[in-house]
Amino acid sequence: MHFAVGLPDWNSLESVRYAHSRLEGGALIAFALLVLFEVWAHLLEDEDKVRARWFEKIGLCFFAIAVLAEIVAYPYGERNDRLSADMIGSLSATTTQAEAKARKALTDSGTAITKAGEALGKSKEATDAAGKVQREVGAVAKQAVDLRLRIEAASKKLDDLDEDIRIQGPRSKLLIDGEKTFVEALKAFKGQKVIMVTCAPRQSPVQTDEEYEFELTLLNRLVEPRPGSAPGAGWDVRTGGPYGCKASGWDRGVWVMYSAPALKAAAEALGSALNKLKINADTIPMTGPASEYARQKRKPDDLAALFEVVASDPTAIYILTGEHTRAFNPWPKP
């Protein structure tokens, strides 16, 4: 049936089967509708002959559709048989080739098994040699790990030593290195009154160069900065006279003292900012009324007299600067 070559879905077995099944299904549906309309026409023949005639005509139309679908489906059926036969032949040829390859593979596998036996014997020797090498490598690796751990421990000790040396260096340098962080932590308390006092007369032989440089650097980082100068926190900084704290054995480095609860936040911020730079600073609340006895019985520059002054002043934070402790041990612990 050469005329059928022009039909759609003609060269694919799957397409041919699909078209054939759709056409056969359509024909069956048309036949079913033919029967249905014929039954309706028969039932209405006595009551309504006009409608019965229409149902007969509609049934004839479905009959025509069914016959047409069968006619179109026929070449698809023929094509389906032809393509199926071709596929079966192709599969048969493929199966024959596969059997030949399987026989060859079976022969080759026998040869491979023989060679594998030979290789197995050699592999045992290689395994023994590899095990020996692995044990030697493991021993070397353990030595390398031990060496790396010792190097890391030594490196940590060097880092700790460098940090200890840095902390023991001039406090003014520690403050300058961290001045940005220090100033930012205190800007929230701009305008806070602070009085700086020392353990010895300023710029005297009793006051060391390190103390003086640190006191001057700390003062410049607390005050309101001038254009072109180092950054400052904008506090109201004042200075007080020297106190005899060295004679009493006091060597805590820096004390931040206050009395009123309203000063606590600013005082703790100052002490914490110094401690973050590894500058040993103790934050101490001084409470209780000032004692007139302290005024009369103690010298004006006595350390205990300073504590009385702090306790009686609810407006200012007092900073007492003394010798460098050369260690970092603040109170309370940060």
Query: 289 vs 281, which has greater pLDDT?
Result: 281
Contact 252, 278 (CB under 8 A): no
Distances (CA, A) of 87 to 90, 132, 149: 5, 60, 72
Per-residue pLDDT at 290: 53
Structure tokens of 308?
């009385």
Contact assessment for residue 75 and residue 4, using Cβ atoms and an 8 Å cutoff: yes
pLDDT level of residue 5 (50, 70, 90 thresholds): very low
Q: For 7-30, what is each residue's pLDDT tens digit?
A: 555 667 777 777 777 777 887 887
**What pLDDT does residue 66 have?**
77
Beta strands in the chain (DSSP E): 193-198, 236-242, 254-258, 281-285, 317-321
pLDDT at residue 331, as a whole number: 63
Q: Which of these, 277, 259, 280, lies nearest to 323 by C-alpha position?
A: 280
CA angle at residue 252 from 242 to 188, to 5 degrees? 80
Residue 43's pLDDT is: 81
Instruction: Determine the length of the chain.
Output: 334
| 3 state DSSP class of 255 | strand
Q: What is the pLDDT of residues 187-246, one digit of tens each?
A: 999 999 999 998 877 877 778 888 889 989 999 999 988 888 888 999 999 988 777 777
Mean pLDDT across the chain, nearest whole number? 80
How far is it, in rounded angstroms, from Cα 271 to Cα 217?
A: 16
pLDDT reading at 261 higher than 70 = yes
| Torsion sign, CA atoms 280, 285, 290, 293 | negative
DSSP letter at 235 equals -
pLDDT band at 267 (very low <50, low <70, confident <90, very high): very high
At 3, the pLDDT band (50, 70, 90 cuts) reads very low
The answer to whether the pTM exceeds 0.75 is no
Radius of gyration of the chain (CA): 53
| Whether the predicted pLDDT of 266 surpasses 90 | yes
User: What is residue 126's three-state secondary structure?
Assistant: helix
Looking at residue 153, what is its pLDDT? Answer: 72
49 membership: H or E segment, kind and range: helix 49-168
Tell me the backbone φ, ψ of residue 280, rounded to 5 degrees: -60, 115
Q: Decide: 61 and 37 in contact? Cβ < 8 Å.
A: no
Is pLDDT at 278 greater than 80 in this prediction? yes
Model confidence at 293, pLDDT cuts 50, 70, 90, reads very low
pLDDT tens-digit map of 49-97: 778 788 788 878 888 887 887 787 778 777 777 777 777 777 777 777 8
**Alpha-carbon torsion (173, 176, 177, 183), positive or negative:** positive
pLDDT tens track for 145-203: 877 877 777 667 666 656 667 777 889 999 999 999 999 999 999 999 999 998 877 87
